[in-house]
Amino acid sequence: MPNLRLGSVAPDFTAETTHGTINFHQWLDNSWAILFSHPDDFTPVCTTELGEVARKSEEFKKRGVKVIGLSANDIASHDAWIKDINEVGKTNVDFPIIGDKDRKVATEYDMLDALDPTNVDAKGIPFTVRDVFVIDPKKVIRLKISYPASTGRHFDEILRVIDSLQIGDKYKVVTPANWTKGEKVIVHASIKGEEADKLFPDHEKVTPYLRFTADPSTK
């Protein structure tokens, strides 16, 4: 099992999904992507999450982000579950969901529950934890969050992180606590002296290492 960290290349795999068979790296192409996992179909918290992701479909597309889910069931089960998700969420799930009944992908991505030895299926296989991976166009993992079963994921926060990552990659800035798109950002620490003045002529120096500037993506 790989020890996946930020900066690791997202493992490639071939799997059946609700949109047919995919090779993950080919499916990613040169896009940003979110891979998010679920322990089982027809679970209450996950049903609300998938509906929320479907409602935010246009927000992900605006950012050039592909979305793919995973749950430890087969495709027939997923297809039936999607009907519930669409009805409950008043939406349309338009992204693929991986069928991972044997936990092959979950194992490759280190998603199996190691905290609770009782959290296993009828065959004694650990359930898949509820992870989120944000993967960049180079297929590098840029974010990994693991959520407890009791707490639904906050997809506005995940969109916020994507905004931060994309702005940082393009403009040599980082983002402060509670930042949202359009607010002031921080000049990257590697940008010194005259280079900072040239790139960010209106930046505000709070301390030698903390320099705020307007969000360059809004200009």
Q: Are 197 and 189 spatial neighbours (Cβ–Cβ below 8 Å)?
A: no
**Residue 165 neighbours by CB under 8 Å, 6+ apart:** 134, 136, 142, 143
Q: By C-alpha distance, which of 103, 32, 51, 94 is closest to 72? A: 103
Q: What is the per-residue DSSP string for 129-146? A: PEEEEEE-TTSBEEEEEE
Which helix (H) or strand (E) segment holds residue 185: the answer is: strand 185-187
Q: Write out the catalytic residue numbers.
A: 46
Specify whether the backbone of 88 is left (phi greater than 0), alpha (psi in -120 to 50) or beta: alpha
Please answer whether residues 113 and 125 qualify as being in contact, where contact means their C-beta atoms are separated by less than 8 angstroms.
no
